[in-house]
Amino acid sequence: MSFTLISEHPLTALNTFGIAVNARHFTTLTERADLPALLTSEAYHQGPVLWLGGGSNLLFTRDYPGLVVKVALRGVQVLADDGDTVLVEAAAGETWHDFVCHTLAEGWAGLENLSLIPGTVGAAPIQNIGAYGVEVKDRLDSVVCADLSDGGAEVILANADCRFGYRDSVFKHEAAGRLLVTAVRFRLSRHAALKTGYGDIQRELDAQGIATPTAQDVARAVIAIRQSKLPDPAVLGNAGSFFKNPVIDAEAAAALLARFPTLPHYPAADGRVKLAAGWLIDQAGLKGYRQGAAGVHEKQALVLVNHGGASGSEIRALAQHVQDTVRARYGVELEPEPIVL
């Protein structure tokens, strides 16, 4: 057994909000072979268990009363390569952005629009992360899991089995607490069509004088855009976009657009309409708003930030104020992206 159990372990450095809380028990999982022993340990059965990736999609509001397991499984390997497409597997503990950079350095396109998203590879399918017109489901082949109810036995879910939705997957529902993501497999291409028409990508490429971009050019454009708008969690605690873009029915959207014709909106599934949550928050006058050390970021209204020393409860109270304000002004419900513990 190579894992070590630690009592009352601080989690401040393990969540990107920088919330100062402790875990009753803590360990790091670096070897897949250690999982069966961990699942039979006393600490595992004493209380709730949190499997922690990069801590970039969590808001702690108190000390964690059970076991926190930092998933630090590492490794990247090519499983198949036909000269055009490649099937590559990355372990759950790999840093997402580092993995994206690795694929681009190898000449594999497909993940460039997802550059600089915080977190780990293992968290990507759970949240079905997305940005600039691409979601992880668009490039994902399958997910390798450990069945925690069966001693950690390996289970592989095909893309369709993951039941991906907008920031959603089977891992948030019936698989939650039962299937642990240990690795993710992606099918990438050396000749993929690039997606540059979403957001500011094309504008950034034009500003750089790039007429025929490569996947790496798109990645650099995405990185530049994100860095200009989003705070670095190492400098200003945050969890990226705190709210999902709300999706409403077409009739409600038409009524809103009649009142607010400049409201950005996009077609969604089943004839519904996706609204821009950042615009709603900004136009409600909340960009840059603060409640003590908790605030709405001054450049991107979707991002809530810890200006230093804010508690999770204070961030949560700020989020509630944002939700109440947007609901009162637009009649639209905002749903948080991060898991609130």
> Which of 84-98, 193-207, 228-242 reaches the highest mean pLDDT?
84-98
Give the burial class of 272: count Cβ atoms within 10 A of its Cβ; 0-12 exposed, 13-18 middle, 19 or more buried.
Answer: middle
Structure tokens given for 110: 């497909």
Catalytic one of 139, 167, 185, 220: 167
**Strand pairing report for 179-189 and 140-147:** antiparallel
% of the chain exceeding 70 in pLDDT? 99
Instruction: Specify whether 163 is catalytic.
Output: no
Residue 182 pLDDT > 60, yes or no?
yes
Each residue's pLDDT tens digit, 238-278: 998 999 999 999 999 999 999 999 999 988 888 999 999 99
The CATH fold of domain 237-340: 3.90.78
**Beta carbons of 332 and 238 less than 8 angstroms apart:** no
Structure tokens given for 17: 């909000």
Confidence of residue 193 (pLDDT cuts 50, 70, 90): confident
Distance CA 178, CA 332 (A): 33
Distance CA 143, CA 180 (A): 10
Instruction: Specify whether 167 is catalytic.
Output: yes
Domain chopping of the chain, boundaries: 6-71, 76-189, 237-340
Average pLDDT, the chain: 94
Give the burial class of 328: count Cβ atoms within 10 A of its Cβ; 0-12 exposed, 13-18 middle, 19 or more buried.
Answer: exposed
Residue 1 pLDDT > 60, yes or no?
no
Among residues 55, 59, 21, 56, the alpha carbon closest in space to that of 319 is found at 59
Each residue's pLDDT tens digit, 103-126: 999 999 999 999 999 999 999 999
Each residue's pLDDT tens digit, 12-23: 999 999 999 999
Q: What are phi and psi of 105, to 5 degrees?
A: -65, -30
Confidence of residue 83 (pLDDT cuts 50, 70, 90): very high
Residue 339 pLDDT > 70, yes or no?
yes
Residue 170 pLDDT > 70, yes or no?
yes
Each residue's pLDDT tens digit, 287-329: 999 999 999 999 999 999 999 999 999 999 999 999 999 999 9
Residue 28 pLDDT > 90, yes or no?
yes
**What dotted CATH number matches 76-189?**
3.30.465.10
Catalytic one of 115, 142, 241, 311: 241
The predicted model gives 62-84 an average pLDDT of 97
Residue 26 pLDDT > 60, yes or no?
yes
**Beta carbons of 66 and 46 less than 8 angstroms apart:** yes
The predicted model gives 214-222 an average pLDDT of 95
Domain 6-71 is found in CATH 3.90.1010.10: no
Sign of CA dihedral 333, 258, 203, 85: positive
Q: Please give the full DSSP string across 72-119, using - where no structure is assigned.
A: ----EEEEEE-SSEEEEEEETTSBHHHHHHHHHHTT-BS-GGGTT--S
The pLDDT assigned to 269 comes to: 81
